Amino acid sequence: MLKRETFQVAIVGCGRVGMTTAYSLLLQGIPTRLILYSRNLKKLEGEKLDLEHGFPFYPSIPEITITTKPQDLKGTDLIIYTAGAAQKPGQTRLDLTKTNLNILHKILPPILKAAPHALVLIVANPVDLLTYTAHRLLDLPWGRVFGSGTTLDTARFRFQLSQHLHLHPDSIHAYIMGEHGDSSFLAQSAATIGGIPLSYYPQLNQKLIDQVYQETRDAAYKIIDGKGSTYYGIATALSHLTKAIKNDANLVLPLSIPLIKPYYQVQNISLSVPVVLNRNGVRQTLTIYLSETEQQALHHSANTLKQTLKQTT
């Protein structure tokens, strides 16, 4: 018999984001084994059974394991970390810093002891500060710990702009960079549609570009105000990242990565820049052209995060 390649994914934190991600992964047949890790075993039992009822319709049938014990994550290839308090109406992501840093310090080290070769994808907010803390706490090689960062922000911007221009979002090549939060910014100088710089594209002007970015930045607040939390968009983005890792895709994405080496003179913090993602994690960062104003925005984002971390730790 041919040996089937295994790809084991563990979701740590099985709230709305974690479970929607699990569902999205199963719908695409990505993991060969899916581990759901949480402290509430009774809820996990219900979630597992509900997911298993979809087995006749998934592309493949993985093993689903539920556990409250870190040692059961042995052999995991990818840890998707969603544990922590969720953003509530009126809160910014940075308001969650102290609570979610404390949770991360308790949960992650025992898990990595059981699964020392795993990649760690941080999703819980504030994702940039949790990513940087996890990198320092776990002492893993650079690139093994990274955050979902502005992947969703970028998708939101491309979607919002596509609606105005009647284009497919894939045809819009633009990144939201910096903090996954209020100090993010559009890297407009490097943005193109069909090879045409964003600033020169027909039907576009600076007022509309600024409007679309504002809609993007405020999207999460609007969703949270309407339904309490966001989870469909981020779960879809996470399954996209997971598939890229499994397939060793060398895909370029804006992810939150610890900047150990200077990136436009920014370092010693995690924030989102374009990176290459493959089976080993983040392979490298890509230094795209940024205008002076955009470089200032990058520094502002970094300083905002550093100040919050300093005040919290």
Residue 159 CA to its chain's centroid (Å):
17
How much is the pLDDT for 36? Answer: 98
**Which residues touch 69 (CB under 8 Å, ≥6 apart)?**
none
User: pLDDT category, 201, cuts 50, 70, 90?
Assistant: very high
Average pLDDT over residues 227-239: 95
φ, ψ dihedrals at 130, nearest 5°? -70, -35
Which residue has tokens 């493949």? 60
Which contiguous run of DSSP H or E holds residue 57? Answer: none
Share of the chain above pLDDT 70, in %: 97
Give whole-number Cα distances, 228 to 90, 103, 225, 231, 249, in Å. Answer: 11, 22, 6, 10, 34
Note the pLDDT tens digit of each residue in 162-196.
999 999 999 999 999 999 999 999 999 999 999 99
| Mean pLDDT, the chain, whole residue set | 94
| Token pair for 76 | 């995991």
What gap in Å lies between CA 68 and CA 70, rounded to an integer? Answer: 7
Q: Which residues are catalytic, by number?
A: 180
Structural contact between residues 93 and 221, judged by C-beta atoms closer than 8 angstroms: no
Give the pLDDT confidence score for residue 4 in this predicted structure: 56
CA distance 206 to 268: 33
b/e map 140-151, b = 16+ CB within 10 Å: beebbbbbbbbb
Rounded-to-integer distance, Cα 77 and Cα 98, Å: 28
Q: Which pLDDT tens digit goes with each residue over 20-58?
A: 999 999 999 999 999 999 999 999 999 999 999 999 999
Question: Does the pLDDT of residue 95 top 90, yes or no?
Answer: no
Q: How far apart are CA 170 and CA 116, in angstroms?
A: 36
Count other Cβ atoms within 10 Å, centred on residue 210. Answer: 12
Per-residue DSSP letters for 97-147? HHHHHHHHHHHHHHHHHH-TT-EEEE-SSSHHHHHHHHHHHHTPPTTSEEE
Helix (H) or strand (E) holding 199: none
The sign of the dihedral angle between the CA atoms of 237, 241, 247, 250 is positive
Tokens standing for residue 151: 């992947």
| Lateral strand order in the sheet of 281-285 | 63-67, 33-37, 8-12, 78-81, 119-122, 145-147, 251-258, 270-278, 281-285
Average pLDDT over residues 252-268: 98
Burial label for 170, CB within 10 Å (0-12, 13-18, 19+), is exposed
- Is 1's pLDDT higher than 70? no
